[in-house]
Amino acid sequence: MGNLKFEDLEWDSEKLGVSCGRIICNDISAESDSAKLLDAFKRLISEKRGVDFITIKLLPAFRLVMNGLVKSCAELIDTEIVFKLNKTGNSNVGCEVKIVKKCDPSRLVPLADEMVYSRFFLDQEIPKIKARQLWADSIKNYCLGRADNLAIAYIKEFPVGMVTIDFLDNNRINLHIVGVLKKFQRCGVGSSMITKIADRYGGKYDIFVEASSMNIQAINFYQKSGFILDSMHYILHVWTGKHEGKVAD
């Protein structure tokens, strides 16, 4: 069946003000016994009493496990859709896109206002002001070197959009933050950044991006930009204090 792994999330803990972690189950077989896997999840959660907040990602193959966790201790926050770039066309817009290591984050921090479909905003237990600040700090960190690379769109020398580029391995890259300042949305800026990334990396890497199932605007944009559906995940949040005594039942 494979082993579940727990990882402390120190950055999330600092920003949210509670002890955070996640359970990793990437190596679990889809043929695993659902009842045994559910018991394994519940045991691991019950062992982490000092942790306030736990995130879990589950493939649709584990629907029965997801249902069992929701009944006992978890909240189904969202379904995350993963897209893979299939092809992209040329984009003609009056902006320049550069691939860089770092940039000044000051003009791009307002992108945090657009992150309203992230799992942090969708969780009713997390104050919106904290969710917004978490994304603002994340954008700053990515701009200052946390990302492997950045695609930055400029209009008249001012940054108006960004895409963070993370190398997963020698064959795959993930685009984590894809954002365009509100004033410049629907002007082709996002397509220009995707085209630049595809031109630079598409010959060597598979390019992936994630979207909330509720973010119809992002889903439509990715599909129009040449992305196709690759996979899906259930996003679960466990607030251990809300379900005291139920986890180990």
Residues 52-73 have a mean pLDDT of 96
Consecutive H or E run containing 58:
strand 53-58
Tens-digit pLDDT profile for residues 76-114: 999 999 999 998 766 667 789 999 999 999 999 999 999
Alpha-carbon span 162 to 101, nearest angstrom: 12
- Give the helix ranges, DSSP H, for the chain: 10-16, 34-47, 63-72, 119-122, 128-141, 189-201, 216-224
Residues 217-237 have a mean pLDDT of 96
Q: What percent of the chain has pLDDT over 70?
A: 94
Res 12 pLDDT > 60: yes
Res 30 pLDDT > 90: no
What's the DSSP call for residue 30? T
Domains and CATH numbers, the chain: 5-80+233-243 (3.40.630), 87-225 (3.40.630.30)
Tens-digit pLDDT profile for residues 147-156: 999 999 999 9
Nearest Cα to Cα of residue 186 among 227, 229, 220: 220
Token code pair at residue 8: 């402390």
What's the length of the chain?
Answer: 249
How, if at all, do strands 20-24 and 5-8 pair? antiparallel
- Give the helix ranges, DSSP H, for 59-101: 63-72
Residue 127 phi, psi dihedral angles, 5° rounding: -55, 140
Residues 63-72 have a mean pLDDT of 96
CA angle, residues 86, 161, 200, in degrees to nearest 5:
40
Mean pLDDT (the chain) is: 92
Residues 206-230 have a mean pLDDT of 96
Tens-digit pLDDT profile for residues 185-195: 988 999 999 99
Q: Are 237 and 57 in contact (CB under 8 A)?
A: no
Q: Are 131 and 120 in contact (CB under 8 A)?
A: yes
Res 245 pLDDT > 90: no
Res 211 pLDDT > 90: yes
Range 65-103 burial, b when 16+ CB lie within 10 A, else e:
bbebbeebbbbebbebbebbbeebeebebebebebeeeb
Tens-digit pLDDT profile for residues 159-204: 999 999 999 999 999 999 999 999 999 889 999 999 999 999 999 9
Residues 102-127 have a mean pLDDT of 95
Token code pair at residue 63: 């629907």
175 — alpha (psi -120 to 50), left (phi > 0) or beta? beta
